[in-house]
Amino acid sequence: MSFRLTRLFTATLIGLSASATVLAAGSQLIWRGDVTTARGVVTDVAKAWEKSGKGKIELQPFNTASGIDAVSKGTADLAGSARPSIGAAEQSLTFTPVAWDALVMVTYPSNPVSNISLMQLHEIYMGHITNWKELGGDDAPINLYSVASPNDGVEYSMRKLLFGRGNQPVASPRLYVNTAKLEEGVTLDRHGLGASTLGGVAGNKKLKLLSIDGVSPSESTIASGAYPLYTELYLVSNDTSPKAADVKDFIAFVTSSAGSSLLRAHDLVPYADGASLAAGDAARRAKIASTVGTRKNAGQPMTTAEPAVAAAAAPTAPTKETAVATTKGKGKAAKEAKATVAAEPSQFAKVASSVATTAHQGFSGIRGEAITVSDNAKRGGRFAKVTADVVTVKGKPVAKPVDASEKPSGKIDTPKATEAKPAKAEPKPVAKAEKKEKAAAGRTYKVSQGDTLYSIAKRNNLDVNELRSLNGLKDNNVHPGQVLKVGAR
């Protein structure tokens, strides 16, 4: 055999050997998606998949939207998501639930707050609770963190549970590209708070997980349904993909006994083991809605144009529809709304419904029930704080509640840093005040839904420590229906 033929023969053997190796190793799949699913589901399962000789998985963890978009366009074979499909564009894709995870609120390890209620969490996202002291913690602002993408799996699922829709605007000016970056931010902020998942943060000593209504997130409380904020994790695929068969094999491997044991190692519950969770999901959502009053908090669609302003801007000149929405209601709020519509348009044209917001002068008006808070309101500058049911601010960015009995004027009252004082009341005789003070001794208060120890103490002119001492409480937890002493006996 000539030297040339020998070289050709050798090259052919090498080529055949390489082809056999590729075939033996299986095809390579590309996975792209949210960090949550990558850490909890895909990373360890992909290693086991490769070790078994079934093929290779190229992991590209980033966020939910990028993964679903990549699968839709064919630049990835699989995606990970902590939410189901939404919108017409995703209907052509297949969302396969593979595990149950827990949506968890994470904060700084030394934060004295360890538990919050669903109602308190709802009020934090709405911007109604803004200080840790209201939760029994330090007198410091709550720095709420969120993922910027409105369709991020964790954020969407959390808001869907708390508000009945995943695109609810929230009072969170600190935005991150994914949950991993959000977690990094919280580890550096003593007053930080953000949403992640148990599978992603379990064992992370730089973060503290909060209990919800006294229930800690864990594999067992997820499986039993005791922890209310459980959620599904999905693998997303395209049945028309050239590698659809390989993708189905990988998903089958994830749900196999070998894959399930790897999921449990991350405190996840394999989806097949949570049949009762799927069956009770509707009842759970209805219970949460009843607890937090979801229908009372429907706001405007989320906007990402100005992350610091959660509510959408309204036109300066009121339309027929706006006038109807503004004047619809009962009692004093409806009368004040009519006065607002008739008033001369200004830089802050109208604020309708129950609103507390800070806004830049460039916005002609804000309408809705979403809340956003800016630190600039404390530092001065071009922000004004509006905290009334129906308010029109004319001229400079300051605010004054409008009384339907007063006529509009051009006078501007600059708000003080302290809380707004209630309307002036007729002074009462000293004797009556003393009588009322004596009657207060021995009074009790029945805890209502959404009450905190701080809010009860404030309402009854008590210090939190004094209220705790009066009732022999060892912590700051209270529950609806509980009767507390609010005066010395």
Q: Which residues are within 8 A (CB) of 111 and not within 5 positions of it... i.e. 6 or more apart?
A: 132, 137, 138, 190, 191, 208
This prediction has a pTM of: 0.58
Q: Are 233 and 100 in contact (CB under 8 A)?
A: yes
Phi and psi torsions of 128, nearest 5°: -85, -30
Q: Are 332 and 390 in contact (CB under 8 A)?
A: no
- H/E segment holding residue 159: helix 153-163
- Residue keyed to tokens 């990988």: 250
Q: Dmax of the chain from CA atoms?
A: 124
Residue 75 has which token pair? 């630049």
Residue 272 has which token pair? 């097949």
Q: Strand 383-386 and strand 269-270: pairing?
A: unpaired
Q: What is the pLDDT of residue 289?
A: 93
Tens digit of pLDDT at every position of the chain (489 positions): 454 444 444 444 444 444 333 333 467 999 998 888 898 899 999 999 999 888 899 999 888 999 999 999 999 999 999 999 998 889 999 999 999 999 999 999 999 999 999 999 999 999 999 999 999 999 999 999 999 876 899 999 999 999 998 888 899 888 888 999 999 999 999 999 999 999 999 989 999 999 999 999 999 999 999 999 999 999 999 999 999 999 999 999 999 999 999 999 999 999 999 999 999 999 999 999 999 986 544 433 332 333 332 333 333 333 333 333 333 444 444 444 344 334 434 333 343 333 333 333 333 343 333 333 334 444 443 333 433 333 333 344 444 444 444 444 444 343 343 344 444 455 554 455 444 445 445 689 888 877 777 778 778 888 777 887 888 887 777 788 889 888 755
Q: What is the pLDDT of residue 485?
A: 87
Q: How far is CA 260 from CA 46, 83, 252, 326, in A?
A: 13, 20, 11, 54
Distance CA 215, CA 203 (A): 18
- Residue keyed to tokens 């908090």: 297
**Boundaries of every domain in the chain:** 20-100+232-277, 102-228, 308-424, 430-485
3-state secondary structure 85-142: CCCHHHCCCEEEEEEEEEEEEEECCCCCCCEECHHHHHHHHHCCCCEHHHHCCCCCEC
- How many helices and strands in the chain, by DSSP H and E? 19, 18
Q: Are 116 and 360 in contact (CB under 8 A)?
A: no
Architecture field, domain 20-100+232-277: 3-Layer(aba) Sandwich (3.40)
Give the three-state DSSP class for 211.
strand
Q: What is the pLDDT of residue 262?
A: 94
Q: Torsion angle, CA of 478/483/487/489, rounded to 10 degrees?
A: -130
Closest of 201, 237, 239 to residue 67, by C-alpha: 237
Q: Would 20-100+232-277 and 430-485 be classified into the same CATH topology?
A: no
Distance CA 447, CA 477 (A): 11
Distance CA 109, CA 340 (A): 47
Residue 489 burial by Cβ neighbours in a 10 Å radius (0-12, 13-18, 19+): exposed
Distance CA 200, CA 35 (A): 8
Q: Which residues are within 8 A (CB) of 225 and not within 5 positions of it... i.e. 6 or more apart?
A: 276, 277, 280, 284
Q: Regarding the domain delimited by 102-228, which CATH topology (the fold level of the hierarchy) does it fall under?
A: D-Maltodextrin-Binding Protein; domain 2 (3.40.190)
Q: What is the pLDDT of residue 133?
A: 96
Distance CA 94, CA 239 (A): 7
Class of domain 430-485: alpha beta
Q: What is the pLDDT of residue 83?
A: 93
Residue 107 has which token pair? 């904060």
